[in-house]
Amino acid sequence: MRIRSIASLVVLLAILPGLARTEDKKPTKVRVLLLGDSTVIGSVCRDMHPKGDHLEDVVRKLLAADTKLPPVEVINRGVNGDMVGLLLARPQRYEADVVKQAPFDFIFLRFGLNDVRNLKDFKTEFPANYKKLIAKLRADHPKAEIVLETAIPYLGEERDMLVNEQVRVVAKEEKLPLLDQYAPYTAALKNGPNMLSYRRMESKAFPEKYRALLPADAIKGDTVYVMDNLLDVHMATVPDWFKDRHPNLAGYQVIGTQLAGYLAPRLRERAKPSP
């Protein structure tokens, strides 16, 4: 009996290193950071649909559907009204959202819509600020792949093109990959020009005769929010009903699909066993 026990112990000791190696092969979670403005964070969607799939959820779930990919954690640090210069000018926020975080594998940047409306010399100041931010990100997360995104349709074709032209210039000069969000979002709008944005207007401007049709939670303070086309048949001719261009949850499905589509082949490459 003693001989058998010793023999069993020898076999177990031989197996244990193999078990440890198997455990070591457990896929490491890939960390993704999203930085940008209100079209990134989607604060109204979060307020109106707190349990909905927001941008980071869409990306994570689409990638998780492919069981061959490693697990992904997506951190959304978009801020309403954000500009590249504002992020640089707020070191405490940058420290909290970027520097003091565990290392990121991918960092996606989508800025420009607020910059073009507020900078005196957009074509000079915006690229200069963007390059400063990129330099800081490279220093703080040297192993991360930094990806610039074009802005979605928002300010009208002329100003949208102005923004995206400068985004492309910076991507080229900094030798960074560019993820185009503008073209697929525009293509999706062909199914309905207002299908990807919510409706927002002052409560006092909302017609009294349709007020009873509003969802129970549609009025927040002095503002009416309707997150889809529910009342378009009644409100289509009311001024400013379609004015707001922020994405609704459907809009974030479009944006998230592009992000996941960019990440999937790169994560697949990472998941390949080492030779």
Domain range for 230: 198-244
Residues 149 and 203 in one domain: no
CA dihedral of residues 152, 164, 262, 137 (deg, nearest 10): -110
Indicate whether 1 pLDDT > 60: no
Contacts of 176 (CB under 8 A, 6+ apart): 134, 146, 147, 148, 170
Indicate whether 209 pLDDT > 70: yes
The residue that leads in pLDDT, 188 or 3, is 188
Q: Could you give the percent of the chain with pLDDT greater than 70?
A: 89
Q: What six digits make up the tokens of 182?
A: 């503008």
Instruction: DSSP letter for 100, please.
Output: T
Q: Total structural domains in the chain?
A: 2
Residues 70 and 131 in one domain: yes
CA distance 15 to 18: 5
CA distance 93 to 86: 10
Give the pLDDT mean for 252-262. Answer: 98
Position 82, amino acid: D
pLDDT level of residue 270 (50, 70, 90 thresholds): confident
Comparing CA positions, the residue from 40, 263, 62, 56 lying closest to residue 145 is 263
Cβ neighbour number for residue 46 with a 10 Å cutoff: 14
pLDDT level of residue 21 (50, 70, 90 thresholds): very low
CA distance 275 to 271: 12
Residues 264 and 214 in one domain: no
Residues 58 and 75 in one domain: yes
pLDDT level of residue 25 (50, 70, 90 thresholds): low
pLDDT level of residue 28 (50, 70, 90 thresholds): confident
Average pLDDT, the chain: 92
Indicate whether 124 pLDDT > 50: yes
Predicted pLDDT of residue 22: 44
Residues 258 and 237 in one domain: no
Predicted pLDDT of residue 8: 55
Among the residue ranges 8-17, 62-71, 126-135, the one predicted with the least confidence is 8-17
Residues 95 and 177 in one domain: yes
Among the residue ranges 218-227, 247-256, 265-274, the one predicted with the least confidence is 265-274
Contacts of 275 (CB under 8 A, 6+ apart): none
Residues 120 and 233 in one domain: no
Cβ neighbour number for residue 59 with a 10 Å cutoff: 27
Residues 126 and 238 in one domain: no
Residues 62 and 189 in one domain: yes
Give the pLDDT mean for 175-202. Answer: 97
Residues 178 and 221 in one domain: no
Predicted pLDDT of residue 5: 58
pLDDT level of residue 20 (50, 70, 90 thresholds): very low
CA distance 2 to 7: 9
Q: What six digits make up the tokens of 196?
A: 């990807």
Helices (runs of H) and strands (runs of E) counted in the chain: 12, 8
Indicate whether 9 pLDDT > 70: no
Query: What predicted TM-score, i.e. pTM, was given to this entire model?
Result: 0.89
Three-state DSSP class for residue 246:
coil
Position 195, amino acid: M
- Per-residue pLDDT tens for 138-180? 999 999 999 999 999 999 999 999 999 999 999 999 999 999 9
Residue 174 included in any domain: yes
Comparing CA positions, the residue from 207, 214, 209, 250 lying closest to residue 231 is 214
Predicted pLDDT of residue 271: 78
Residue 230 included in any domain: yes
The answer to whether 4 and 26 are in contact (CB under 8 A) is: no
CA dihedral of residues 59, 64, 67, 71 (deg, nearest 10): 90
CATH number assigned to the domain comprising residue 261: 3.40.50.1110
Comparing CA positions, the residue from 147, 152, 153 lying closest to residue 171 is 147
Give the pLDDT mean for 175-196. Answer: 97
- Per-residue pLDDT tens for 53-63? 999 999 999 99
